[in-house]
Amino acid sequence: MSITTEARPEPSAPPRPARRRLPGIGADRSVRSVLLVAAIIPTAALAFLIYQMVKTAWPAVIFNGVGFFTTKTFTIGNLYATGTEVHHGYTAAKGASYGILPLVFGTVVSSFIAVILAVPVSVGGAILLAERIPVRLQGVLGTFLELLAGIPSVVFGLWGIYTFGPLLSRTLYKWIAALHIPWFTGPTGAGEGMLTASLVLAVMIVPIIASTTRELVRSVPAISKEGALALGLTSSETVRIVTIPYVRTGVVAASILGLARALGETIAVLIISGNFLNAYPHSIFDPFSTMASTIAAFLDSALTDSTGMAVHSLAEVGLVLLAITLVANLAGRMLSRRFSGAGLPVGRGV
Amino acid sequence: MNRLVAIPFILCATTLAACGSSSKTTSSNTSSTTAASTNTTAVTLTTGNPSAAVTINEDGSSLLYPFLQELVSPLTAQYSNITLAPAPGGSGKGIADAIAGTVQMGGSDAYLNSGQLSANPGLMNIPIAVSAQSVYYNLPGVTNLKLTGDILAQIYQGKITKWNDAAIAAVNPGVTLPTTTVVPVRRIDGSGDTFIFTSFLSATNTAWQNGPAFGTSVTWPGVSNELTANGNPGMVQTCKATPGCVAYIGVSAGAAAQAAGLGQSMLQNKSGQFVQANSATITAAVSAGSSNVPPDLAQPLIYEPGAQAYPIVNFEYLVVKATQANASTAEAIRTFLAWAISTSGGSTPQYLAKENFVALPTSVLPAVNAAIAKITP
Amino acid sequence: MTARRVRNAAFWSACSLAFLCVAAPTLSMLISVFHQAVPALGWSLLFKRTNSIGIQNAILGTLLLLLGVLILAGGVGVAAGVYLAEFATGRHERFLRFFSEILAGMPSIVIGYIGYITLVVQFHWGFSLAAAVISLSILVLPYVVKTTEVALRQVPTFLREASAGLGLSSTTTVWRILLPPALPGIVSGLIVALAISTGELAPLLFTAGFSDQNPSLALVHHQLPYLTNVIFTDLSLPGARARATSAAAGAVTLVLLIILIAVGRLVSRGARRATARMTI
């Protein structure tokens, strides 16, 4: 709507007196303080979370010591036995031994496999969406990404265990196991296990990487692409030579954010992983456990331990998970910040 | 002179005081029929419809849950101001939530351990019924398979991996056993079913007793194709989908297990006989085991002697705090518990038989009523 | 020459395959959820509660939760975003923004765990609406702050200059001049926050509990039913009826999500028209 089509007010009417006074400069200070308090809240919440986590985990940190990072077993102990274990002044149930190694293994391996699988799929799909799909269809097809991003993780988990897992175990897994590659062979089971969980995690993080890639691909200056095509490059070569280098850092940053998401995913993994503790999976089809799924699965049992050491140890698991996720997030954000100024300085309309 | 007079006074006063405090008979509420039935003896409880509407929140044992679900409507029909709100979640959750106070009653197949009792004075486990657990298997065509605790312990340790193993064949003469791999299924949630199953394994296999032992959550030995499930219904579903599986399932899920086509095994009891879980064998076990129940009611009924006794039997407990928030809640809980254990209230064959439970033996009722009477505001 | 053409075709086929790998699971999930929900569909779904065959209590609980998150995370997040965009300067601006972004990386299970240990147990609130809303708000707060800040930064500077030139106070500038054009961006941030809240389960498992009754407006001591819990309990309840109810809860959650996405689309379309009007 342009200014010329709007009706002009009658020139002869006297100006109406202001109906109320606008807030003056004095009110500014109090409003500003309120807003400052609001701005501090995220930082305060973060500090509170970390403080509570460390405080709840502290007895376990002392009790478990370095053994936490070297032991294979994670067990609450025998709550019905007589006597307790005491280390360094802290008590736990008899036979309790808390070690995080298989959990870290499960978390890190499943998340890395998920990212490795998700990146090519996301980048390929995003490039297709941004470069080849006609604009009319882009809205509809782009909806897939938005839907996928919003589907609850519990739906992913149930789909994984009832539909996806059994389908894979009947087909793909049997073919892979038949090849007898070490660690890729063994009983394929009914679909619960590390590979299924990694695949479902991959599907979950695809939207994160794909939507960022799509935005980045769209923002590649048309002039570079047109120049490449004018020189006779095929469209795929243009993508390889012009687009990919332009979006590379952004894709890496988004992948790291996807990795952080996969590291912290709880419910889907809880449902599909099979919750196998105290040993390493022997093959990629075996059940396993992650740090997040163990916290969720064991909190109720941990609360029955009257010494409280189980709850403290779960908090210690959460602390390690927090640390790993934080590092991943920081890396991702620092990379994306570094990227955001790196585009070719081409002005609009040139 | 004054002191001599005072002594008999003091003696009388203390005797009267002692008499007064030991009497538990107080006026019973007359707004509706009381729950006192023919089998409560020495202790009379104050029960009745509370004056305000009370919802009793419960969660925990998935073995007890179907029974409580059945009791919801008849309870409110009898006592209009009491509503029972049960939920599943596993015995571990039931105990934890009862301790934390997020529910008023925690359902558990496992009694409280000494650590929980000493950390929470006033916390009680009150049995309301007797239940049992069966071991089901998924081997189409094989019926009435016989198993022993020792064999099951070896299966769950990964030492027996095929159904046609010599140990299984030895107790099943004449039965053709398939070469299928054994797939053990266990509970992932803090589970009373795990508690009673592992108690049975501990009683029959020394390696198990010295290793994982028993509890609502144990260190399961790593068996490579072991599966996990949530709740008794989850065990049924998982076993149904896995040929060759073996799973421990509470009797209240027995109908679902039968409907799913799972076979119910016969377990060897302490006297060497192979029995299946039914009301006769469960009653035999609980009669043998309830002759000397301790006052805190923490009594296992596992592997009881007797030719007909079923080996995996347990009391179904509701974990309750003695001190409740207010008088109405305390009265509601007392009323519910007394009604649930009475043979004219909740413990009728109509409700018990559907879940394959058995009523509490009369020998424990005095102790149970004494515990219920301790629930006060 | 043909080798390059073949490589070209191969590349685009690979990309199409990749896209299918994204579309197929989405379709599979949507179809299986709605297909399994069919036996439970009917008006009783909306009018009965989970102790019967309906999910009325869960739907009301989720809506109540969304309202709470909108008020708490929306209010605090927008205010924080305004502060960071308009009033903060120098080191403490970078400091506050940095920590807000770190908060975005918190695993939801950690937030739920701390919520349980502190709000539910230590504060004696029990499983409650307050504990659930606070936990979810902490989870989504960084998104609201970030989108508000970005939306405000996109408002052209000449408006701020003109407002200062006219002698308007900062409050008036923000409230009357800057927020209106930034509103679409802020609203889409709020929609992202609501979409995340609809689908979350891990923090709610330990702060909200569940209940077969309709949720009360009580902030504490009353357990709150919500949809994702009904979906989750499919794993531990028997029978086809439970399966269908769980799938129905999943279907309702997806419908809520689709509504939120549609509203977001409408808002951003309106935003594009508004910014077009802005350029002079």
Contact status of C218 with chain B (Cβ, < 8 Å): no
- Residue C27 sits in the same domain as residue C130: no
Sequence-separated (6 or more) residues with CB below 8 Å from residue C271? C184, C185, C188
All residues of chain C having their beta carbon less than 8 Å from the beta carbon of residue A146 are 261
Inter-residue contact A217 to A130 (CB < 8 Å): yes
Shortest distance between the Cα of B102 and any Cα of chain C, in A, equals 5
pLDDT at B20: 37
Shortest distance between the Cα of C214 and any Cα of chain B, in A, equals 13
pLDDT at B324: 87
d(CA C56, CA C52): 10
pLDDT tens figures, A225-234: 899 989 988 8
- Residue C101 sits in the same domain as residue C8: no
- Residue C13 sits in the same domain as residue C55: no
Query: Mean pLDDT throughout B155-166?
Result: 91
Helix C75-82 vs helix C179-199: crossing angle, to nearest 10: 140
In this complex, which of C32, C202, C277 lies closest to A159 when CB atoms are compared?
C32
pLDDT at A342: 40
pLDDT at B245: 92
pLDDT at B52: 86
All residues of chain A having their beta carbon less than 8 Å from the beta carbon of residue B219 are 73, 75, 95, 277-278
pLDDT exceeds 50 at position C136: yes
pLDDT exceeds 70 at position C20: yes
- Residue C68 sits in the same domain as residue C133: yes
- Residue C103 sits in the same domain as residue C27: no
Contact status of C214 with chain B (Cβ, < 8 Å): no
pLDDT exceeds 80 at position A340: no
pLDDT at B27: 35
Tell me if A36 and C32 make a contact (CB, 8 A cut-off).
Answer: no
d(CA A330, CA B253): 49
CA neighbor of B92 nearest in space, from C124, C223, A309, A76 = A76
Tell me if B231 and C124 make a contact (CB, 8 A cut-off).
Answer: no
- Residue C21 sits in the same domain as residue C122: no
Residue with token string 């062979």? A185
pLDDT exceeds 80 at position B36: no
| Closest residue in chain A to residue B242, using alpha carbons only | A190
In 10 A of CB B207, how many CB atoms? 15
All residues of chain C having their beta carbon less than 8 Å from the beta carbon of residue A273 are none
Shortest distance between the Cα of C125 and any Cα of chain A, in A, equals 17
Query: Mean pLDDT throughout A51-61?
Result: 93
Contact status of A167 with chain C (Cβ, < 8 Å): no
- Residue C90 sits in the same domain as residue C153: yes
Query: Mean pLDDT throughout B20-36?
Result: 38
What domains, with CATH codes, occur in chain A? Answer: 110-286+332-336 (1.10.3720.10)
Tell me if C99 and A46 make a contact (CB, 8 A cut-off).
Answer: yes
pLDDT exceeds 90 at position C56: no
pLDDT at A13: 54
Which residues span the domain enclosing C23?
A: 1-40
CA neighbor of C148 nearest in space, from C197, C79, C196, C93 = C79
In this complex, which of B115, B227, B241 lies closest to A306 when CB atoms are compared?
B115
Contact status of C18 with chain A (Cβ, < 8 Å): yes
CATH number of domain containing C66: 1.10.3720.10
pLDDT at A16: 55
d(CA A169, CA A258): 26
d(CA B217, CA A349): 67
Inter-residue contact A90 to A59 (CB < 8 Å): yes
What is the domain count for chain C? 2
All residues of chain B having their beta carbon less than 8 Å from the beta carbon of residue A306 are 113, 115-116, 118-120
Contact residues, C window 42-71, toward A, CB-based 8 Å cutoff: none
All residues of chain C having their beta carbon less than 8 Å from the beta carbon of residue A52 are 114, 117-118
pLDDT tens figures, B232-287: 888 888 888 888 999 999 998 888 899 889 999 999 999 999 999 988 999 999 99
Shortest distance between the Cα of C273 and any Cα of chain A, in A, equals 10
In this complex, which of B93, B113, B190 lies closest to A80 when CB atoms are compared?
B113
Query: Mean pLDDT throughout A59-67?
Result: 89
Burial class (CB in 10 A: 0-12, 13-18, 19+), B12: exposed
Inter-residue contact C235 to A271 (CB < 8 Å): yes
Query: What are the φ/ψ torsions at residue A275 (nearest 5 degrees)?
Result: 50, 60
d(CA C111, CA C134): 10
Contact status of A143 with chain B (Cβ, < 8 Å): no
| Closest residue in chain A to residue B185, using alpha carbons only | A274
pLDDT exceeds 50 at position C120: yes
pLDDT exceeds 90 at position B37: no
- Residue C125 sits in the same domain as residue C244: yes
pLDDT at C51: 67
Sequence-separated (6 or more) residues with CB below 8 Å from residue C97? C84, C88, C149
- In chain A, the percentage of residues whose pLDDT exceeds 70 is 89
- SS3 of residue B361 by DSSP: coil
Sequence-separated (6 or more) residues with CB below 8 Å from residue B193? B62, B63, B91, B109, B133, B187, B232, B235, B248, B249, B250
In 10 A of CB A21, how many CB atoms? 6
Helix (H) or strand (E) holding B126: strand B123-137
Q: What is the dihedral of CA B139, B141, B142, B143, to 10 degrees?
A: 120
- Residue C139 sits in the same domain as residue C168: yes
Inter-residue contact C219 to C234 (CB < 8 Å): no
pLDDT at B222: 78
Choose from A4, A19, A41 for mutation: most chain C CBs within 10 A.
Answer: A41
pLDDT at A201: 94
Tell me if A78 and B218 make a contact (CB, 8 A cut-off).
Answer: yes
Tokens coding A77: 């102990």
Contact status of A163 with chain B (Cβ, < 8 Å): no
Average pLDDT of every residue of chain C: 86
Contact status of B238 with chain C (Cβ, < 8 Å): no
The more confidently predicted of residues C194 and A1 is C194
- Residue C8 sits in the same domain as residue C93: no
Tell me if A23 and C171 make a contact (CB, 8 A cut-off).
Answer: yes
Contact status of C213 with chain B (Cβ, < 8 Å): yes
pLDDT tens figures, B316-363: 999 999 988 888 889 999 999 999 998 888 888 889 988 899 999 988
The more confidently predicted of residues C79 and C101 is C79
Helices (H), chain B: 2-22, 65-78, 91-100, 114-119, 149-156, 166-171, 192-204, 206-210, 231-240, 254-259, 279-289, 327-341, 349-354, 365-373
Helices (H), B62-165: 65-78, 91-100, 114-119, 149-156
pLDDT tens figures, A83-134: 788 888 888 888 788 889 999 999 999 999 999 999 999 999 999 888 888 8
Tell me if C223 and B57 make a contact (CB, 8 A cut-off).
Answer: yes
pLDDT at C133: 95
Contact status of A185 with chain B (Cβ, < 8 Å): no
d(CA B118, CA A306): 9
- SS3 of residue C63 by DSSP: helix
Q: What is the dihedral of CA B166, B171, B174, B177, to 10 degrees?
A: -50
- Residue C128 sits in the same domain as residue C251: yes
In this complex, which of B57, B62, B101 lies closest to C236 when CB atoms are compared?
B62
All residues of chain C having their beta carbon less than 8 Å from the beta carbon of residue B230 are 235-236
In terms of phi and psi (left: phi > 0; alpha: psi -120 to 50; beta: otherwise), the region of B244 is left
Query: Mean pLDDT throughout B195-210?
Result: 92
Inter-residue contact C188 to C264 (CB < 8 Å): yes
Shortest distance between the Cα of C250 and any Cα of chain B, in A, equals 19
Tokens coding A188: 């394929």
C-alpha angle with apex C225: C222 to C228, nearest 5 degrees?
Answer: 145
pLDDT at C278: 61
d(CA B312, CA A320): 41
Query: What are the φ/ψ torsions at residue A78 (nearest 5 degrees)?
Result: -100, 105
Contact status of C121 with chain A (Cβ, < 8 Å): no
Tokens coding C117: 């240990």
CA neighbor of A40 nearest in space, from C100, C222, B247, C210 = C100
User: Looking at A11-83, which runs of residues are DSSP E strands?
Assistant: 74-75
Tell me if C237 and B256 make a contact (CB, 8 A cut-off).
Answer: no
Shortest distance between the Cα of C114 and any Cα of chain A, in A, equals 7
pLDDT at B8: 46
Shortest distance between the Cα of B247 and any Cα of chain C, in A, equals 15
Sequence-separated (6 or more) residues with CB below 8 Å from residue B236? B136, B247, B249, B253, B256, B257, B260, B262, C238
Tokens coding A82: 């007589």
Contact status of C120 with chain B (Cβ, < 8 Å): yes
- Which residues of B lie closer than 8 Å to A, measured between beta carbons? 89-90, 92-93, 95-96, 99-100, 113-116, 118-120, 181, 188-190, 213-222, 224-228, 241-242
Helices (H), chain C: 2-37, 44-47, 56-69, 75-82, 90-104, 108-115, 129-153, 157-165, 170-172, 179-199, 202-205, 227-232, 239-278
Tell me if C126 and B101 make a contact (CB, 8 A cut-off).
Answer: yes
Inter-residue contact B235 to B253 (CB < 8 Å): yes
d(CA C198, CA C200): 6
Inter-residue contact C119 to C207 (CB < 8 Å): yes
Contact status of C212 with chain B (Cβ, < 8 Å): yes
d(CA B47, CA B334): 6
pLDDT at C137: 95
- SS3 of residue A278 by DSSP: coil
In this complex, which of C121, C211, C238 lies closest to B100 when CB atoms are compared?
C121
Query: Mean pLDDT throughout C100-125?
Result: 89
Query: Mean pLDDT throughout B295-317?
Result: 91
Sequence-separated (6 or more) residues with CB below 8 Å from residue A168? A191, A195, A196, A199
pLDDT at B17: 41
Contact residues, C window 203-262, toward A, CB-based 8 Å cutoff: 205-206, 228, 231-232, 234-235, 246, 250, 253-254, 257-258, 260-261
Tell me if A306 and B100 make a contact (CB, 8 A cut-off).
Answer: no
d(CA A181, CA B129): 54
Contact status of A323 with chain B (Cβ, < 8 Å): no
Average pLDDT of every residue of chain A: 83
- Residue C32 sits in the same domain as residue C48: no
d(CA B302, CA C15): 62
pLDDT tens figures, C187-238: 988 998 999 999 999 999 889 888 777 888 888 878 888 999 888 887 766 6
Give the range among A243-247, C69-73, C200-204 with minimum mean pLDDT: A243-247
d(CA A271, CA A159): 10
Give the range among A143-147, A324-328, B102-106 with minimum mean pLDDT: A143-147
Give the range among B219-223, B255-259, C81-85 with minimum mean pLDDT: B219-223
pLDDT at A346: 35
Give the range among B46-55, B73-82, B157-166, C143-152 with minimum mean pLDDT: B46-55
pLDDT at C1: 67
All residues of chain B having their beta carbon less than 8 Å from the beta carbon of residue A189 are 225, 227
pTM of this structure: 0.83
Confidence band for B24, pLDDT divided at 50, 70 and 90: very low
pLDDT at B265: 94
